Amino acid sequence: MSFSDITSDQVVMILVLLGIVISAVVAVTVRDLLKAAIALAVTSAILTVIMFIMNAFMAAVFELSVCTGLITVVFISAISLTRPKTKEENVKIEKHKLRRFVLLPVILIVVAVSLVLLFSKLNINWAVLTGTSTESFADILWKVRQIDVLGQIIIILAGVFGVIVLFKERDVK
Amino acid sequence: MTLVFYCAIIAVVLLLIIGFASLLTSRNFIRILISLEVLMKAVTLMIISVGMVTHRIELTQSLVITLIIVEVVMIAVAAGIVIGIHKHYDTLDSTKLRNLKG
């Protein structure tokens, strides 16, 4: 494929994918935890854009409301409830961290290259996988995956009980 | 469309590497949670791009919604645990919690 075959849609998609990687790098490297949480929200928002481009509208709405909204609120409240470190402590930890993980970048690059190579070596038969999907999203969610929806309800209840137990124990003490 | 798919796979691998690197090197609990979130984003992007290339986006959307629910419950409970640890030990550094160290 030559460069002249690339359409404008593909260029937009590649730029958006580049954006999600850059915002993820910012989220894990920036020192201020509040800025990291906001960069994570930006990552979620860019993922929402990708989902809209790939025609996954329902998942995009969930991602935008839950991951960009709720998780950011949870993170920011957790950060404000816990005292952040001072700058000097952070710098000390960063130096210590760099000394301990000298070989980590090399290992990670090797893992990344091997993952990409492994994927390109996989001989996936797309013709078998690609089907004509006539069912709607609601049909699949409520008819094909009924038991999974039940599992989701149980997971949400488990989360609610977990949070209740945590906060109850703190009130007693 | 396959070009976009391969670019998405490369982005997934990069996100996984970024998340794992941060997960291994961080000691602050909130930063560890942020790394887990980045890993979750990689998995979500993988599922959605596979759904796009196999034309079964409806099925993958329902999978992604399950993933998002698991993700938000995990983060909510983990944030509660982090706040509890901060109340008990007054630190967010994972290396300073040595109560169970043998």
Chain B CA closest to residue A18: B11
- Binary contact (A129, B54; C-beta < 8 A): yes
d(CA A122, CA A147) in angstroms, rounded, equals 32
Q: Residues A62, B68: contact at Cβ < 8 Å?
A: yes
Residues in a beta bridge with B93: B28
pLDDT at residue B16 greater than cutoff 60: yes
Q: Nearest 5°: phi and psi at A72?
A: -65, -40
Which of A12, A16, A17 should be substituted to probe chain B, the one whose Cβ sees the most B Cβ atoms within 10 Å?
Answer: A17
Q: Residues A72, B72: contact at Cβ < 8 Å?
A: no
Residues in a beta bridge with B28: B93
Domains and CATH numbers, chain B: 2-89 (1.10.287.3510)
pLDDT averaged over chain B? Answer: 88
CA distances from A87 to A75, A91, A97, A107, B61 (A): 20, 6, 15, 29, 42
Chain B CA closest to residue A9: B4
Residues from chain B that touch A112, judged by Cβ atoms under 8 A, are 13-14, 17
- H runs (alpha helix) in A6-145: 8-29, 33-53, 57-62, 71-81, 87-100, 104-121, 126-129, 137-139
Distance to chain B for A59, nearest Cα, Å: 5
Pick left, alpha or beta for residue A125 (phi over 0 → left; psi -120 to 50 → alpha; otherwise beta): beta
d(CA A114, CA A79) in angstroms, rounded, equals 37
* Nearest CB neighbour to B38, from listed A28, A33, A116: A28
- Binary contact (A67, B20; C-beta < 8 A): no
Q: Residues A70, B71: contact at Cβ < 8 Å?
A: no
Structure tokens at A114: 């091997």
Which of A16, A34, A46, A67 should be substituted to probe chain B, the one whose Cβ sees the most B Cβ atoms within 10 Å?
Answer: A67
Instruction: Using a pLDDT cut of 70, give the percent of chain B over it.
Output: 98
Residue B55: per-residue pLDDT: 84
Residues from chain B that touch A93, judged by Cβ atoms under 8 A, are 27, 93
Which of A35, A44, A82, A132 should be substituted to probe chain B, the one whose Cβ sees the most B Cβ atoms within 10 Å?
Answer: A82
- In this prediction, residue B34 has a pLDDT band, given cuts at 50, 70 and 90, of very high
Structure tokens at A145: 């995956």
- Binary contact (B57, A156; C-beta < 8 A): no
Mean pLDDT of all residues in B70-83: 90
Residue A95: per-residue pLDDT: 67
* Nearest CB neighbour to B57, from listed A54, A93, A162: A54
Residue A144: per-residue pLDDT: 76
d(CA B32, CA A39) in angstroms, rounded, equals 15
Residue B40: per-residue pLDDT: 93
* Nearest CB neighbour to B48, from listed A54, A132, A159: A54
**Considering the entire predicted model, what is its pTM?**
0.82
Residue A92: per-residue pLDDT: 67
* Nearest CB neighbour to A63, from listed B30, B37, B68: B68
- In this prediction, residue B33 has a pLDDT band, given cuts at 50, 70 and 90, of very high
Q: Residues B75, A162: contact at Cβ < 8 Å?
A: no
- In this prediction, residue B1 has a pLDDT band, given cuts at 50, 70 and 90, of low
End-to-end C-alpha distance for chain B, whole angstroms:
54
Distance to chain B for A118, nearest Cα, Å: 11
For chain A, 173 residues long, the average pLDDT of each consecutive 10-residue run is: 73 92 93 91 94 89 90 89 67 66 82 82 66 70 79 87 74 54
Distance to chain A for B42, nearest Cα, Å: 9
d(CA B22, CA A24) in angstroms, rounded, equals 10
pLDDT at residue B68 greater than cutoff 80: yes
